[in-house]
Amino acid sequence: MKIFRIMVAGVVLVARSMIASEDPPPEHVQLMKDLGKQMGEMRKGVNVDGNATAMADTLKKVAAFWKGRNSEIAMQSCRTTRRGAVAVSKAAGDKAAIAEGMKMIGAGCKGCHDQHREKLTVDGKEVNKIK
């Protein structure tokens, strides 16, 4: 009986993982690459204001993509990330304000990634999916 339950659980898991993840459309991948680049430069202190402003704008497009997908977590993550980016863009060199904004950005990216990003390794390469 126990074995049977474990087998059923296994089949359900496999089925769910097959239905649940999908290849992201190219425009979503591009938005993520833009965010990754903006984040990388901000962390290095490169053009912090400009990247924060661009990030806030990118987040609007990310939010538009997720709007139709019925995920409160995704929308909340977009809002948090965007609020952080706006805070950094207005920080005018205030280090504490920048650090605070960066924290919000980090939490926002992570919030959505934890829920919706699936990272697989296929033939030794990283493959990103939406789940």
For tokens 């990103």, what's the residue? 128
Stretch that binds ligand HEC, among 6-14, 30-38, 42-50, 94-102 (CB under 6 A): 30-38
The size of the interface with ligand HEC (CB under 6 A), counted in residues, is: 24
Q: Could you say which residues in the range 31-90 bind ligand HEC, by CB under 6 A? A: 32-33, 35-36, 39, 62, 66, 74, 77-78, 81
Asked if residue 11 lies in contact with residue 41, where contact means CB atoms within 8 angstroms, the answer is no
Stretch that binds ligand HEC, among 11-19, 25-33, 41-49, 88-96 (CB under 6 A): 25-33
- Residue 116, interface with ligand HEC (CB under 6 A)? yes
Please give the Cα distance from 123 to 131 (Å, whole number). Answer: 20
Q: Where are the beta strands (DSSP E) in the chain?
A: 117-122, 125-130
Q: Where are the alpha helices (DSSP H) in 1-131?
A: 2-20, 26-44, 48-67, 72-89, 95-116
Phi then psi for 126, rounded to 5 degrees? -80, 130
Contacting positions for ligand HEC (CB under 6 A): 24, 28-29, 32-33, 35-36, 39, 62, 66, 74, 77-78, 81, 105, 108-109, 112-113, 116-117, 128-130
